Amino acid sequence: MRIAIYSPNWIGDAIMALPFISKLKVQNPNAEISVVCKEWVSGVYEQNPAIDKLITIKNSSLKNVFGTFETGRFLKLKNFDQFYTLTDSFRSAFVLWISGSAKRIGYKAQLRSFLLTKSFNHPKKRIHRSKKFLKLLTNGEGSITNPVIYISKKEAIWAKDEMERLNFSRPVAVFPFSIAENRSISKETIQSWIKNSKADYLIFGSKNDSTKGESIINQCKNNSIKSICGKYSLRESILLISQCHYSLAADSGLGHISAALGVPTISFFGVGYAEKTGPLGKHTSIVRYCSPCKGNDCKNINNQISCIKDISKSEIELYVSSILKL
């Protein structure tokens, strides 16, 4: 049997799909499992033993109806028996329909149910996205397993050597940037957290974040800190994150990666619901803060929600001690 999964398009969502992929393989040990994904998230799935084939789609292929149709026709050649979509877009269901798979499974959304052979209603209760994906297989029964990113021995050697080339040994990973600007952590806040620290810090981000990365370095001149924003591929960044001591993460895909690698991760979550999309990991701590900041008009009295500007260096050290179990 050939089973395909249409991957989410964002890195964090791709990480949250990993438990679904593992469960699918457990339920179908003799099936050939393929993951169909955009190029920019493919690094998440490499080396995963539950995935037999990784089919990458160019980022530009699905920008118009013709490209979407051609993608479906290409996938039709794969002769999939079952095809799951983990996105709620009409486009993904259309690709599944064009592929000709006998069984096409996903959630009801955007009036696309007629393109699927089996469609589910969205969960009525607020649940984690990983569990939402799993409900396509198990109706939500059982607990969520933490996502796992796999790294080969050869990759681990490369990561160690590359970190030495950067003249760092087990630095602290910093992921201050997010797709949404109001989820990013300011350079002033980063400076207050790492002031007078003797640790090494490595800033990760995309090519678009390179200028902001350099701005943080200029703000933290008394620290050992470097930026590698946009200098490595996603897979290479994953490998380098695996070599880090712990991570300070904005609500971003990189925070999910760090948690899935088992790197102790402090995730600062200021927008949305952490119980739905927070990173999952054995050594992960989620810190909730108000966003957007309302300044003097703030009326927050919730003890579980902090003001990110008021989170002190000593509080960060307590979070670090907790996740490192010092």
pLDDT score of 279: 93
* Identity of the residue numbered 161: D
Helical (H) or strand (E) element with 258 = helix 253-260
pLDDT score of 301: 55
**19 assigned to some structural domain:** yes
What global pTM score does this model have?
A: 0.91
User: Domain of 310?
Assistant: 153-324
**82 assigned to some structural domain:** yes
Is there a single domain that holds both residue 121 and residue 168? no
Residue 277 φ then ψ, to 5° = -135, 15
pLDDT score of 300: 57
**143 assigned to some structural domain:** no
**108 assigned to some structural domain:** yes
Q: Total structural domains in the chain? A: 2
Strands 118-120 and 53-57, sheet pairing: unpaired
**79 assigned to some structural domain:** yes
pLDDT by residue for the chain (326 residues), tens digit each? 999 999 999 999 999 999 999 999 999 999 999 999 999 999 999 999 999 999 999 877 777 888 899 999 999 999 999 999 999 999 999 999 999 999 999 999 999 999 999 999 999 888 999 999 999 997 555 577 899 999 999 999 999 999 999 999 999 999 999 877 777 888 998 998 998 899 999 999 999 999 999 999 999 989 999 999 999 999 999 999 999 999 999 989 999 999 999 999 999 887 667 888 999 998 998 888 776 655 555 555 555 666 777 788 888 888 888 888 75
pLDDT score of 311: 80
Last residue of a domain, one of 111, 138, 165: 138
pLDDT score of 303: 59
Residue with tokens 């996502």: 147
Integer CA distances (angstroms), 271 to 80, 150, 293, 306, in order: 38, 29, 11, 13
Is there a single domain that holds both residue 184 and residue 261? yes
Q: Return the DSSP state at 170.
A: S
Is there a single domain that holds both residue 114 and residue 213? no
pLDDT score of 208: 92
Question: For residue 124, what is the domain's CATH number?
Answer: 3.40.50.2000
pLDDT score of 292: 61
